[in-house]
Amino acid sequence: MVKIRKIINELSPYVPGRSINEIAAEYGLKKEEIIKLGSNENPMGPSPKAMAAIEEEIKKISQYPESGLGDLKEEIANYSRVNPEQVIIGGDGADEIIEMLGKTFMDPGFEFIVALPSYMYYEYILQTYEAVPAYAKWDVEENKLDVQSVLDALSDKTRLVFLCTPNNPTGGLIDKKDIKTILEATDALVVVDEAYFEFSLVDNVDLLEDYSNLFIMRTFSKVLGLAGMRIGYGLAHPQIIEYMHRAKPVFSLTKLSHAAALATLRDPDYIKESTELSITSREFLYQEISKIDNIRIFPSKSNYLLMDIRETGMNAAQLSKELLKKGIIVRDCTSFKGLDEYWIRASVGTLEEDEKFIKILKELVSSR
């Protein structure tokens, strides 16, 4: 029998959401009628300019992709108000950026901090480098970071501190002064995950000038509508970026992803409309679900909303299944450390999809 690393043998596989094909087959639904509100995707779809760019570039897929990505770095730098040497691009969404952080900064036995509940893929990836999680707290009731818990978790073994803002799955923001407090308390790299920053109309790029231990992580998967193309990027001090490039695969971004990313950033009207649609949808969902007596919904600065459903008489698995039967996919948040079995998260949809979701949700919870 071949030998497997101990940590891999002990690691539970990451379980992604089920596909529309699987759900349609199990519940006898038409695929085109299923409403997907579980993955925080863009209900508007991609930029038409991105689709045209892919159609043109597909003729060249017999060639290797670009390695330097200078034109895309330039566009990202302009979009993010930084210099191109402060940009690194990943070819598996923000997940490859996390992978590169692990390769560059983690040694076995050293620690990274996550405030729970938050995005769990940080832990999933970094454990493969035999890194040790140190948990801080996100105060769900107040929907804010417990800053002191982060400071208390710092040690001489801390290499990375993850701060997700807006936080996934709660949708709350971390105040800039709190980020500065943490940056000034450690020489570890503080990773501010801004995957959803466009929906909040707030970012932390201005802090890069004064803090060399700040790393901002972003993605093309949300407001930019390219989740299927798998493009992520990071912003940091040029020396940090140079170190990470040493660990980065040379051809990690495909030709089609490269073309789609460039075209999207060069389509400001699409980005503006996409942002406005998601914010409008979010506020509509919040207002309407707030009217349902036995669901507690939390305000959000992202493109999803967290709901406490314990008063409905169902747990998250039960309600999620009942919604699936009706063709609505939401996220059962039981797998998020720091939450119990009574939380679901719903992404924004088109207003037509939102209305159908709310109608079905009301029917399900009022029948109990």
The secondary structure of 59-95 as a DSSP string is GGTTSPPPSS-HHHHHHHHHHHTS-GGGEEEESBBHH
What confidence score (pLDDT) does residue 8 get? 85
What confidence score (pLDDT) does residue 12 get? 77
Mean pLDDT (whole number) for 247-256: 93
What confidence score (pLDDT) does residue 226 get? 98
Candidates 346, 243, 337; CA nearest to 288 is 346
What is the phi/psi pair of residue 139, to 5°?
-75, 100
- Residue 99 counted as domain residue: yes
- Residue 259 counted as domain residue: yes
What confidence score (pLDDT) does residue 320 get? 97
Residues 56-103: tens digit of each pLDDT: 999 999 999 988 899 999 999 999 999 999 999 999 999 999 999 999
What confidence score (pLDDT) does residue 172 get? 98
Percentage, residues of the chain above pLDDT 90: 90
- 320 and 228 share a domain? no
- 183 and 120 share a domain? yes
- Residue 317 counted as domain residue: yes
What confidence score (pLDDT) does residue 284 get? 98
Mean pLDDT (whole number) for 27-53: 95
- Residue 248 counted as domain residue: yes
pLDDT above 80: residue 109: yes
Candidates 197, 214, 229; CA nearest to 160 is 214
CATH number at residue 170: 3.40.640.10
Domain termination site, one of 266, 300, 316: 266
- 192 and 274 share a domain? no
- 58 and 159 share a domain? yes
Mean pLDDT (whole number) for 105-127: 96
- Residue 173 counted as domain residue: yes
Residues 20-37: tens digit of each pLDDT: 888 899 899 999 999 999
- 183 and 331 share a domain? no
pLDDT above 70: residue 344: yes
Domain termination site, one of 266, 291, 313: 266
Percentage, residues of the chain above pLDDT 70: 99
- 31 and 127 share a domain? no
- 274 and 155 share a domain? no
What confidence score (pLDDT) does residue 207 get? 98
pLDDT above 90: residue 224: yes
Categorize the per-residue pLDDT at 368 as very low, low, confident or very high, splitting at 50, 70 and 90. low
- 74 and 26 share a domain? no
- Residue 345 counted as domain residue: yes
- Residue 86 counted as domain residue: yes
CATH number at residue 334: 3.90.1150.10
- 257 and 314 share a domain? no
Q: How do strand 132-139 and strand 35-36 relate by DSSP bridges? A: unpaired
Residues 170-212: tens digit of each pLDDT: 999 999 999 999 999 999 999 999 999 999 999 999 999 999 9
As a whole number, the mean pLDDT across the chain is: 96
pLDDT above 80: residue 289: yes
For the record, the structure tokens of 199 come out as 């929906």
pTM attached to this predicted model? 0.96
Query: What type of residue is 354?
Result: D
Number of domains, the chain: 2
* Those residues with Cβ within 8 angstroms of residue 121's Cβ, 6 or more apart along the chain or in another chain: 14, 95, 98
What confidence score (pLDDT) does residue 15 get? 67
- 195 and 330 share a domain? no
- Residue 158 counted as domain residue: yes
- 39 and 60 share a domain? no
Q: Range of 169's domain?
A: 49-266
pLDDT above 90: residue 367: no
CB contact at 8 A, 146 and 115 = yes
Domain termination site, one of 266, 297, 327: 266
CB contact at 8 A, 135 and 162 = no
- CB neighbour class for 103 (10 Å; exposed up to 12, middle 13-18, buried from 19): middle
- 27 and 78 share a domain? no
Tell me how far apart the 2 most distant CA atoms of the chain are, in Å. 59
Mean pLDDT (whole number) for 146-162: 98
The Cα–Cα gap between 159 and 92 comes to: 23
